[in-house]
C-alpha cells in the first residue's frame, strides 16, 4: 500500500463513521497517480454540504477527487 492509498483510506474511514447514521458511505474505487476515484452511496449523494470534498481538500489538497 502506497502513501496516497493509506491517506485516502484514512480520510474515508474518518468520514464513514460520520456518514453511517445517515445511511451513507464512501469507498475507494481506484487511484491513478493523483486521481482518486471514490463511490458514494446513500443520502450523501444529494447532500449540499460536500463534507467528502471538504475533507479531502483539507487533508489531501494535491489530489483530484472523482466521484462515481
Q: What CATH code is carried by the domain that includes residue 21?
A: 3.30.300.130
Phi and psi at residue 60, to the nearest 5°:
-140, 65
pLDDT tens per residue, range 4-55? 999 999 999 999 999 999 999 999 999 999 999 999 999 888 888 889 999 9
If one counts the domains in the chain, the total is: 1
Query: Taking the model in full, what pTM does it have?
Result: 0.90
Q: How many CB atoms lie within 10 A of CB 46?
A: 8
Domain of residue 31: give its range.
3-67
Give me 19's grid cell: 456518514
Angle of the 51-59 helix axis to the 3-19 helix axis, nearest 10: 150
Residue 2 confidence (pLDDT) above 90: yes
Amino acid at each position: 500500500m502506497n502513501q496516497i492509498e493509506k491517506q485516502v483510506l484514512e480520510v474515508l474511514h474518518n468520514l464513514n463513521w460520520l456518514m453511517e447514521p445517515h445511511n451513507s458511505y464512501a469507498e475507494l474505487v481506484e487511484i491513478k497517480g493523483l486521481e482518486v476515484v471514490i463511490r458514494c452511496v446513500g443520502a450523501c449523494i444529494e447532500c449540499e454540504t460536500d463534507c467528502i470534498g471538504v475533507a479531502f481538500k483539507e487533508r489531501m489538497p494535491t489530489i483530484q477527487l472523482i466521484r462515481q
